[in-house]
Structure 1
Amino acid sequence: MGDEFLQRRENERFFEEVKRQYLADMKIRFGFTDLQATQAESLANWAFESGFGSGVSYAHYEESAIRLRPGRRA
Structure 2
Amino acid sequence: RPYQALRNFPDLPRLPSGYPGCYGLAAIPPLWFRVMNPKVIDWAGGDLSKVNMCPRHKEKLYAKYGATAPAASAA
Same fold (TM over 0.5): no
- Normalized per residue, which structure has more helix? 1
Superposition TM-score, scaled by structure 1 size: 0.28
Task: Please report the TM-score for the alignment, with normalisation by the length of structure 2.
Answer: 0.28
Larger Rg: 1
Q: Which has the higher contact order (CA 8 A, sep 6+)?
A: 2
